[in-house]
Every structure is written in structure tokens, then in C-alpha cells.
A = this chain, B = another copy of it.
Amino acid sequence: MKPSKGLLMVISGPSGAGKGTVCKELNKNNEFWISVSATTRSPRLGELNEINYYFLTKDEFKQRIKNKDFLEYAEVYGNYYGTPKSKVEEMLNKGIDVILEIDIQGALKVKECYPEGVFIFILPPSMGELKKRIINRKSETPESFMTRFKSAYKEINYVSKYNYAVVNDVVENAVNKIKSIIVAEKCRVDRIKDSILDSKEGLIHEQFYD
């Protein structure tokens, strides 16, 4: 069969579901390419250009928006954040699987321009566990905890826009499920039909006449 394009896997979910931890564990053997976002905010201590973010000026960012070089972007508190398209496409064309770890709004925008992506929603094992994780993450005030929790609760409704939902009860289990999803997606007839039928045509003459 012909070498095929890489898969674009979009890993997303509500705040507190643990998508960052899952992505890190998923790629511990560097089997995938994890997309690096672009931003106009200043680097924090220890953050490196091209590793943590592509740090751009606002003019550079706006020029890239004009050039349609973002799969998605958003303005948050006066700074821009976005997913550069050219690098993602370069990797996919090389046959390398790409992971985007991204929030729900971003994921839905990516889906508009890249519907053949694999959209995976990471779920907390229960709302109780989500509550604990939000509390543990930051020293939240009761008000800000309630805002984050309600927001995460609402975000779970977006699961219906995704292809897969994976409960992050134990990170290793969640990662194994995502690995299975990747194997399965590579067997999907929608993706590989043409190469199956091509390779069949290429072989028939040889087989009838040798």
C-alpha cells in the first residue's frame, strides 16, 4: 500500500480533565509530533521559542492571520494564541502523526478546516474527581473554583462534536485507549480504500501470468 499521510489527532477536553498529562505520556517515546502554538504574549521564565511557543510580535501574528497560516487562533485578554498550519501540514505530508493539545473552542475551529482529523475528548472520571483536580491545581477562591467548575461542566456537552471520548481515570489506561484509537483509525476503510484498490490493481497482471 502507498505510504499515507499522518493522522491529525486533536486532544481536547474541559479544564481539569488532564489532557496535558495524557499527551505527555502518550508521546514519551517521541512517536508523534506535538504541535507548538504561536502566541504574542511574552515568554515566561524558562520558556523557549519553538519549544514552548513560537513567540511572535502582534504584527507578525496578524500577518500570519492574513496569510491564513493558522488552523485556529483566538485573542485572550489582549494576546493572540494560534496553531500554525504550515508546520502541521508539513509533518502530516511526511506521514508523521501530529497531536494538537487544544481547548474546546480551538478544536471546533480545527474541525471546520480539517474534518478528517481524529477528535478525542478527554473526560474526568467523575464530576467529583474533576472538582478535586480543579481545587488541587490552584489555590482557588470558592468563587473562582465555582466559575471553573461550572465552565468545565458546560464544556462536557461539547463531547457530541468529537469522534471519541476517553475517560482519564488512570493516565496509563487513557493513553492505551488513545493508542488503540490511532491503530483503529489507520485501519478505517475511508482512509485506506484507495491504496487497497490501487495495490490490488498493480498486482493482478503479475499473478495471472507468472
Q: Which residues of A contact B (CB under 8 A)?
A: 1, 120-121, 123, 126-128, 131, 149, 153, 156-157, 159-160, 162-167, 176-177, 179-181, 183-185, 187-189, 192-193, 196-197, 199-200, 203-204, 206-207
Q: Name the residue on B nearest A157 (C-beta).
A: B197
A206 touches B165 (CB 8 A): no
Residues of B within 8 A of A184 (CB): 164, 177, 180-181, 183-185
**CB contact under 8 A between A126 and B203, given known A164-B184, A184-B184:** yes
Q: Nearest-CB distance from A40 to chain B (Å)?
A: 34
B162 touches A200 (CB 8 A): no
**CB contact under 8 A between A165 and B177, given known A126-B203, A159-B197:** no
Contact of A127 among B128, B156, B164, B203 (CB under 8 A): B203
Q: Nearest-CB distance from A163 to chain B (Å)?
A: 6
**CB contact under 8 A between A131 and B207, given known A156-B200, A185-B184:** yes
A164 touches B181 (CB 8 A): no
**CB contact under 8 A between A127 and B189, given known A157-B197, A165-B196, A196-B165:** no
Residues of B within 8 A of A160 (CB): 189, 193
Residues of B within 8 A of A121 (CB): 189
B180 touches A165 (CB 8 A): no
A188 touches B207 (CB 8 A): no
Please measure, in the bound complex, the distance between the C-alpha atom of A189 and the C-alpha atom of B149, giving whole angstroms: 22
A187 touches B204 (CB 8 A): no
B200 touches A127 (CB 8 A): yes
